[in-house]
């Protein structure tokens, strides 16, 4: 079977630049494809804000002209190899400036349209002819549009198939049609209602969904949810129309990175055989570090999240007074809406022995929390996949989740009669239902610790590495090739 060339295009990729789960996916997924079957390379912008420690290892491969779809300007391609995977970064003077990769959507439209044009301009220069171009989220959604519009005009891409992955449908890259027309270099027909047109605006993500050969999202349940008006963000009709070409493939995590046996960030390493003794030691160490009451027996609930309503923080806010009266400790890590940041700070002041509010993000602290906490709270309004619950389970921290998207697909609810399950879940977006589920988990933790430990052990035994997901993507690529 012929080896495939696959280009994975992303607006972010760890460790170069990361703001969310997409950065982890772009860094990890390509490493899991069998080398003998697929040459998977990653391409992203060379932002000015990428730290120097990652820039210094970059090697310039080519200078080139950006010359597709009314594109103009010069750019450079840089290369580095990490874990046997080639990473390309496109740099251009004045194109990717700023302290963060994303600014406001209006200006970002032009930035990422330029990036997509540059990607297609440079591949013939370096003679990497892709069988598959895999675009991710709205920032790279113009790639399927351009490939389809070039059909029959440019032999280099005549056999290239495209995949459009939706990581979060809420973010679509929306602006007025005239602005998109100018920045993207596309004509009026493409801006019609069947393609990019979205009422009086244009949505780049909609264009990617309409033009791609295959559309994927990051869990089976989310693929079903986004075909309904409640979750569809106005695109449910198009997604229903494309149902035959819409697949849900759950994300994974890198088990070599998230490994309690080797993680240098945590106080006491442990395995599935030793977690019962080691997690209480990690807990007491973290309690001391965070000035919480040192008690290995108290149930510690973790929340590592963006502090927004999408993540269900409004449910937690509604129940905080009642939750703080329970025999639990709550450790929070994250940033987000100011009202929620202030709320958690208030409760950390009011209940200083049992609530710790860490309004920041620290990779090291997050690992320490995963290794120390007993339960992990994730009551999302919607969750395309979610990685935090997978990381929590890897560390033997039992998830408490709402049954939506990837949370429903990856967390099996505990059944005390059949002695099955890897966590606890509730169905409705309701604060009282969430609290009832938390208190059910508390009861099992305190009154049936043996069963609790078995839940944690089953969670640790689950394999949510990228191996299975990579095989599903590979099968999909093969299917596209045969069309």
Q: So what's the pLDDT on residue 458?
A: 98
408 closest CA partner among 241, 254, 231:
231
Token readout for 62 is: 């080519």
pLDDT value of residue 232: 96
Please give the full DSSP string across 231-276, using - where no structure is assigned: TSTT-HHHHHHTGGGEEE----B-TTTS-TTT-TTSSS---TTTHH
Sketch out the chain's domains with CATH numbers.
4-252+467-481 (3.40.50.2000), 275-463 (3.40.50.2000)
Q: Give mean pLDDT, residues 468-482.
A: 94
Per-residue pLDDT at 189:
85
CA 99, distance to chain mean position in Å, is: 21
pLDDT at 192: 92
Instruction: Give the pLDDT band of residue 314 (cuts 50, 70, 90).
Output: very high
Q: Which tens digits make up the pLDDT trace of 246-279? A: 999 999 998 888 999 999 999 999 999 999 999 9
pLDDT band for position 21 (cuts 50, 70, 90): confident
Per-residue tokens: 4: 């495939």
8 Å CB contact between 84 and 67: no
pLDDT for 272 equals 97
Q: Residue 150 is encoded by which pair of tokens?
A: 């070039």
Residues 134 and 282: their CA atoms lie apart, in Å, by 41
Q: What's the pLDDT score for residue 254?
A: 87
Please check whether residue 118 is in contact with residue 163, taking contact to mean a CB–CB distance below 8 angstroms: no
pLDDT for 329: 98
Region of 328 on the Ramachandran plot (φ > 0 left; ψ -120 to 50 alpha; else beta)? beta
**86-99 pLDDT per residue, tens:** 999 999 999 999 99
Query: What's the pLDDT at 256?
Result: 87
Beta-ladder partners of 17: 13
Of the candidates 445, 463, 470, the residue with the CA atom closest to the CA atom of residue 393: 463
- Mean pLDDT within 145-159: 90
pLDDT bin (cut points 50, 70, 90) of residue 115 is very high
CA distance 61 to 172: 32
Tell which wins on pLDDT, 468 or 217. 217
Query: Rounded distance, CA 140 to CA 161, Å?
Result: 15
Nearest by Cα to 288 from 329, 335, 340: 329
Closest CA to 8 of 123, 175, 95, 154: 123
Q: In degrees, to the nearest 5, what angle opens at C-alpha 310 toward C-alphas 304 and 315?
A: 80
Dmax (CA) of the chain? 69
* 9 burial via Cβ count (<10 Å: 0-12, 13-18, 19+): buried
pLDDT at 68 over 90: no
The C-alpha atoms of residue 372 and residue 134 are separated, in whole angstroms, by: 37
Per-residue pLDDT, averaged over 202-214, amounts to 97
Q: How would you class 483 by CB atoms within 10 Å of its CB: exposed for 0-12, middle for 13-18, buried for 19 or more?
A: exposed
Q: Which of 154-158, 365-369, 406-410, 446-450 has the lowest mean pLDDT?
A: 154-158
pLDDT-based confidence at residue 435 (cuts at 50, 70, 90): very high
Cβ-count burial 332-359 (b if 16+ within 10 Å, e if not): bbbebeeebbebbeebbeebeebbbbbb
For 361-418, the pLDDT digits (tens) are 898 999 999 999 999 999 999 999 999 999 999 999 999 999 999 999 999 999 999 9
pLDDT at 357 over 90: yes
pLDDT above 90: percentage of residues in the chain:
92
Q: What is the mean pLDDT of the chain?
A: 95
CA distance 214 to 248: 11
pTM for the model stands at 0.91
The DSSP secondary-structure symbol of 337 reads: -
In this predicted structure, what is the pLDDT of residue 153? 80
* Residues 424, 335: Cα–Cα separation, whole Å: 25
What is the structure's pLDDT at 417?
95
Contacts for 463 with CB less than 8 Å, ≥ 6 apart: 255
């Amino acid at each position: 079977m012929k080896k495939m060339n696959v280009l994975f295009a992303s607006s972010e990729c760890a460790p170069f630049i990361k703001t969310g789960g997409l950065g982890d996916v772009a860094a990890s997924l390509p490493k899991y494809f069998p080398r003998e079957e697929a040459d998977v390379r990653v391409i992203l912008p060379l932002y000015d804000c990428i730290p120097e420690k990652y820039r210094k290892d970059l090697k310039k491969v080519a200078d080139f002209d950006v010359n597709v779809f009314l594109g103009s300007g010069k750019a450079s391609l840089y290369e580095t190899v990490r874990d046997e995977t080639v990473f390309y970064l496109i740099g251009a003077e004045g194109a990717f400036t700023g302290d963060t990769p994303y600014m406001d959507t209006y200006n970002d439209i032009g930035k990422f349209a330029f990036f997509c044009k540059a990607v297609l301009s440079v591949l013939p220069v370096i003679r990497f002819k892709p069988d598959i171009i895999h675009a991710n989220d709205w920032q790279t959604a113009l790639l399927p549009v351009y490939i389809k519009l070039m059909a029959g005009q440019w032999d280099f891409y005549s056999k290239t198939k495209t995949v459009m992955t939706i990581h979060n449908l809420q973010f679509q890259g929306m602006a007025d049609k005239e602005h998109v027309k100018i920045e993207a270099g596309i004509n009026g027909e493409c801006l019609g209602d069947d393609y990019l047109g979205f009422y009086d605006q244009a949505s780049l993500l909609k264009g990617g969904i309409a033009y791609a050969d295959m559309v994927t999202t990051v869990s089976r349940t989310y693929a079903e949810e986004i075909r309904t008006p409640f979750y569809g963000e106005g695109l449910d009709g198009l997604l229903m129309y494309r149902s035959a070409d819409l697949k849900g493939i759950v994300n994974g995590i890198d088990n070599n990175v998230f490994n309690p046996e080797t993680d240098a960030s945590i106080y006491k390493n442990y395995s599935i055989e030793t977690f019962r003794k080691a997690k209480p030691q990690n807990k007491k160490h973290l309690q001391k570090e965070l000035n919480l009451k040192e008690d290995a027996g108290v149930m510690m609930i973790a929340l590592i999240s963006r502090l927004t309503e999408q993540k269900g923080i409004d449910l937690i806010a509604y129940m905080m007074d009642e939750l703080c009266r329970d025999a639990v400790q709550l450790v929070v890590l994250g940033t987000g809406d100011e009202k929620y940041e202030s709320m958690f700070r208030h409760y950390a002041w009011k209940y200083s022995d049992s609530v710790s509010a860490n309004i920041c993000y620290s990779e090291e602290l997050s690992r320490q929390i995963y290794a120390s906490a007993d339960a992990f709270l994730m009551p999302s309004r919607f969750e395309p996949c979610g990685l935090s619950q997978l990381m929590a389970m890897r560390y033997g921290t039992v998830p408490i989740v709402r049954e939506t998207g990837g949370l429903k697909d990856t967390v099996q609810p505990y059944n005390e009669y059949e002695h099955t399950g890897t966590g606890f879940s509730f169905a409705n977006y309701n604060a009282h239902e969430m609290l009832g589920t938390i208190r059910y988990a508390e009861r099992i933790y305190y009154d049936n610790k043996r069963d609790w430990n078995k839940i944690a052990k089953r969670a640790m035994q689950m394999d949510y590495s990228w191996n299975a997901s990579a095989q599903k993507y590979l099968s999909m690529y093969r299917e596209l090739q045969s069309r």
